[in-house]
Structure 1
Amino acid sequence: MKIKKSLSLLTLIAAGLLRFEPVQAEVAETDSFKQFIGNMVKQQHFNEVELRKLFKVVQIQQPILDAMSKPAEGKPWFQYREIFMTEARIAGGVQFWKDNEAALKAVESQYGVPAEIIIAIIGVETKYGAFTGKYRVIDALATLAFAYPPRSEFFLKELEQFLLLAREERIDPLQPMGSYAGAMGLPQFMPSSFRGYAKDLDMDGKRNIWTNSADAIASVANYFVRNQWRAGAPIAYPVSARGEAYRQALGKGVKPDVSVGELRRMAVDIPAQLAASEMVKLLAYQQQEGEDLWLGLHNFYVITRYNHSPLYAMAVYQLSQAIAARKG
């Protein structure tokens, strides 16, 4: 019986009716790969022999391609929220605050970004460093640059940025680990973000966002400031509405695009302290029954510069509030 099953399986494979994708494979010598190598040699002055030797051990990984097809942001809000608003993440955030109080206080004073927002970013991204990624960064970036056409342009640029940062920081490019998308360290910076925003808070000569909490904290704060964070300004407000007129203000995107005055005319009940001229974003979050309405202000939009999903930004905001409330 076992022999018959084996023969049947072999017959199916031979007939092409069953296909098995390899879990990993070498980077193919495609036109895209050749062009990338040529650009790195000509424009960034890399050694072609050394670069080709490096890519001989880089692997295209099928699990990375699979993960790209099912991001968490595809879930409705009530399911997405459950991932991050947990007792473990709230308690972990309070502990991270206690463990890094000096760095957080110094960074908040220097940059004007609240400690709880920085902590929540690191909490949502990596659960305070517990899950920083299981893939080699170079494998993730190469897989998505050369084997994922929908985003190849973006990831080709990030692969270039990664090789540049490895050279600048004197890091073996085969060593850093990260997410399936090539995000790195406690704050999950993409290589371009690392080069643009990573900071060396303890002044030890290294921008270490992998194991140095102080550097990671300062790097997150710097990211927000460089994206126009307004110190002391509010972030978001829950609101309610009467009737259905407010629905015309709901739309795609996360950038503030409607004035408070306009929303009040649509029967949206908004906190009195907000000026009629202030631009905001009206957002609806799906619950199991009905929806929650929120106003996203400028600083909420800044959070979405870290991740463009309004689900992500709201998870960060609500987690930050829960951590701050728990810490007291």
Structure 2
Amino acid sequence: MTGQYALPAAQRRRLAVRAFHLALYVGAAVSWQGACAQDATPATPAPQVAPAQSPQAASPGGTFEEEIIPQRYADNADVNAFIDDMVARYDFDATALHALFAGVSYSATAVKLVTPAATPFPKNWRTYRARFTDPVRINAGVRFWRENRATLQRAYQQFGVPPEIIVGIIGVETMYGRYMGNFRVLDALTTLAFDYPNTPNRADREMTFRKNLEDYLVWTRDAQLDPSTVLGSYTGAIGIPQFLPSSIVKYAVDYEGNKHIDLRASPADAIASVANYLKENGWENGRPVVWHIAQDTGSLGVAQAAADGMPEPHWPLAQLLRAGMMLDQPGIDMTAEAGTPVTVIDLPTPAQPTQYMLGLQNFYVLTRYNRSFFYALAVYELGQRVKARVDEETASAAPTSTQTPIAAPAPMQAVVPNQPTPAAAAPAAPHPAQTLQSPSQPPQPQPQQPPQQPQ
């Protein structure tokens, strides 16, 4: 509304939220804050990929020192029962396993790092994003893309995951292999499997880490690796993509064809393993990751009320539109997308208005790698920034380039890309009222554009 009869902004916001409640048939007690996904405790064991760790804890040449207690697990009743199970199920040598665990140390540092802070720090999206999209990381991503261009294209062809997504994950996880962790994986997994800190989810977490310890011993035996020498993160994640052992067993790929998977030293194996992980967890080739919400008061009010912290897409887009939300996303075919499930992403920053976006299936798949809205969006934004730089390089070299571009794999369904192609000027974003028609009028389909070609 405009002019002298316009309602105050606060009142318009309250009315928008009330309309949302009626439209979605929700109860009166809807939380205005909404839990962020990074705080949600999963009902099932966490995905088998460890969180990105701090460079200090992972730096191979830094001064960080792990606090350990040697020989904590020699003749430990729980460990002895675990050994008996490994012997019975996988035909391990009992004497060898007892000798191995006699040399395992308790990692007090790992326990401290997985223990939640007594007073949680306020969530700060702007600080988090700045940490993972800084110029140093972007430059490293451009170099990684340039050095592994053929492998990234090959993985795109085979798995349908764009290079920028793979580059974003590897950049956030280890800054392209720079920070892979210097904890002994055997110490970390054993500590967290048998001495996880006393938290509400302790039983589930110990079960998860015992499964990873089991898979770690089987994997190192089959790969003929010494289990006492492999290094990784404080949660036992390994290599360039920071895979936990259970993910190595299930998703890791030998992309060099040498019958050996090396996630620490082979970028090709890391690239294909990340792509395979995302594909197997439901990545949709050619589909967007996020949609942008219009910044008017009504749209933000609906977003605030619908932000429930659930990473799984569960709101039909049409339902949010009927409640009064509008999108700032040119080119969407509203008729085709009306039934598309989305989740509302909330990105709080202290003393700043909370930002909101809509996450689609591919955003949810990124949270399967790490159950955090901040993490998933940082991966996406880092990948987009690296891709923009690579596209600039490719465009500037195009007149003299003799390379034959590799065609992108055919998308599973017709879609509109997230961004315009670098060679074309970006179309001006229409006013939200033009992007979304009134629910009383049938939406007019927008013209489709060809999928963006990766460089």
- Partner of 1:280, secondary structure, is strand
Residue 266 and residue 31 in structure 1: after superposition, are their counterparts in 2 closer, same or farther (change >3 A)?
Answer: farther
Output aligned runs, 1:137-216, within 5 Å: 137-149=185-197, 150=202, 151-216=205-270
* 1:92 is aligned to 2:140: yes
- Following the alignment from structure 1 to structure 2, what is the Cα–Cα distance between the partners of residues 110 and 259? 31
Kindly provide the CA deviation profile for residues 272-291 of structure 1, in whole angstroms up to 9, marking residues without a partner as x: 43511110001110124011
Residue 264 and residue 255 in structure 1: after superposition, are their counterparts in 2 closer, same or farther (change >3 A)?
Answer: same
Q: CA deviation at 1:73?
A: 9.9
Contact 1:256 1:297 in 2 (8 A): yes
Kindly provide the CA deviation profile for residues 14-55 of structure 1, in whole angstroms up to 9, marking residues without a partner as x: xxxxxxxx7323233443212211111111211110001011
- Following the alignment from structure 2 to structure 1, what is the Cα–Cα distance between the partners of residues 263 and 237? 11
Kindly provide the CA deviation profile for residues 64-98 of structure 1, in whole angstroms up to 9, marking residues without a partner as x: 11111259998432222222111111111011000
Residue type of the partner of 2:357?
A: W
Residue type of the partner of 1:61?
A: S
How many aligned residue pairs are there? 307
Which position in structure 1 is the counterpart of 2:368? 305
Quick one: which of 307, 311, 314 aligns to 1:257?
314
- Following the alignment from structure 1 to structure 2, what is the Cα–Cα distance between the partners of residues 43 and 242? 60
Output aligned runs, 1:259-274, within 5 Å: 259-270=316-327, 271=329, 272-274=332-334
Kindly provide the CA deviation profile for residues 219-258 of structure 1, in whole angstroms up to 9, marking residues without a partner as x: 1111111112111111112213533233331112200010
Which position in structure 1 is the counterpart of 2:341? 279
Output aligned runs, 1:1-328, within 5 Å: 23-28=68-73, 29-69=75-115, 75-149=123-197, 150=202, 151-240=205-294, 242-243=297-298, 244-270=301-327, 271=329, 272-274=332-334, 275-288=337-350, 289-328=352-391
- Partner of 1:201, secondary structure, is coil
Residue 73 and residue 203 in structure 1: after superposition, are their counterparts in 2 closer, same or farther (change >3 A)?
Answer: farther
Which position in structure 2 is the counterpart of 1:12? none
Residue type of the partner of 2:338?
A: A
- Following the alignment from structure 2 to structure 1, what is the Cα–Cα distance between the partners of residues 139 and 191? 36
- Partner of 1:290, secondary structure, is strand
Q: CA RMSD in A?
A: 1.8
- Following the alignment from structure 2 to structure 1, what is the Cα–Cα distance between the partners of residues 247 and 188? 16
- Following the alignment from structure 1 to structure 2, what is the Cα–Cα distance between the partners of residues 231 and 187? 21
- Following the alignment from structure 1 to structure 2, what is the Cα–Cα distance between the partners of residues 23 and 207? 30
Q: Percent of counterpart pairs with the same letter?
A: 38
Contact 1:198 1:215 in 2 (8 A): yes
Q: CA deviation at 1:117?
A: 0.6
- Following the alignment from structure 1 to structure 2, what is the Cα–Cα distance between the partners of residues 44 and 75? 44
- Following the alignment from structure 1 to structure 2, what is the Cα–Cα distance between the partners of residues 233 and 311? 20
Contact 1:245 1:267 in 2 (8 A): yes
**Range with greater deviation from structure 2 (109-118 or 240-249):** 240-249
Structure 1, unaligned stretches of length 5 or more?
Answer: 1-21
- Following the alignment from structure 1 to structure 2, what is the Cα–Cα distance between the partners of residues 23 and 194? 26
Q: CA deviation at 1:111?
A: 1.2
Contact 1:73 1:312 in 2 (8 A): no
Contact 2:189 2:235 in 1 (8 A): yes
Higher share in helix: 1
Which position in structure 1 is the counterpart of 2:452? none
- Partner of 1:64, secondary structure, is helix
Contact 2:185 2:231 in 1 (8 A): yes
Contact 1:246 1:267 in 2 (8 A): no
- Partner of 2:70, secondary structure, is strand
Kindly provide the CA deviation profile for residues 96-142 of structure 1, in whole angstroms up to 9, marking residues without a partner as x: 00011111111111111100110111100000000000101111101
- Following the alignment from structure 2 to structure 1, what is the Cα–Cα distance between the partners of residues 292 and 367? 18
- Higher RCO by CA contacts (8 Å cutoff, separation 6 or greater): 2
Kindly provide the CA deviation profile for residues 145-180 of structure 1, in whole angstroms up to 9, marking residues without a partner as x: 111152211111110010011011111111211000
